[in-house]
Amino acid sequence: MNAGDRIPPLEIPVTRTLIVAGAIASRDYQDVHHDPERARQKGSPDIFMNILTTNGLVGRYITDHFGPRAELRRVAIRLGAPNHPGDTMVLTGTVEQVDGDTATVRVVGANGIGTHVTGTVTVRIPA
């Protein structure tokens, strides 16, 4: 593991089911994550993925790559273009820094309308 290493991309089909299942699994009942009509009333063209689901997917992306022994220490994300049903989000990652057994990874998730998420994950991979 070296700075500059790229993590293979992970493609996430953004289905209506994923958006609703992620919202409910995170106990987030904000209407914009399950009710298209209410989402439109608030200026959005459709429901959109909640931040907790994005957070979970970013965490999964890192542990899928580094394996079950990897320990997430920090996940910091910022959302941009929303994930609406029918889109696809492609997560990509680059190792920014390695300090002993701990790596900092820059993660970007791009969808059809722009950058959905940018973030930094700190992960420890015990030797």
Residues that bind other proteins (CB under 8 A): 12, 18, 21-22, 24-30, 32, 40-43, 50-53, 55-60, 63-64, 68-69, 71-79, 113-114
Q: Which residue has the tokens 């409910």?
A: 24
Given the complex with other proteins, which of 3 and 15 has the nearer CB atom?
15
121 class by beta-carbon count within 10 Å (0-12 exposed, 13-18 middle, 19+ buried): buried
Q: Which residue has the tokens 């493609």?
A: 11
Given the complex with other proteins, which of 2 and 121 has the nearer CB atom?
121
Given the complex with other proteins, which of 41 and 97 has the nearer CB atom?
41
Closest contact distance (angstroms) between CB of 1 and other proteins is: 18
Closest contact distance (angstroms) between CB of 87 and other proteins is: 13
How open is the CA angle 40-45-48, to the nearest 5 degrees?
A: 95
Given the complex with other proteins, which of 4 and 34 has the nearer CB atom?
34
Please, what's the b/e burial string for 94-114 (b: 16 or more CB within 10 A of its CB; e: otherwise)?
ebeebeeebbbbebbbbbeee
Closest contact distance (angstroms) between CB of 3 and other proteins is: 22
The token pair that represents 11 in the structure block: 């493609």
Closest contact distance (angstroms) between CB of 112 and other proteins is: 9
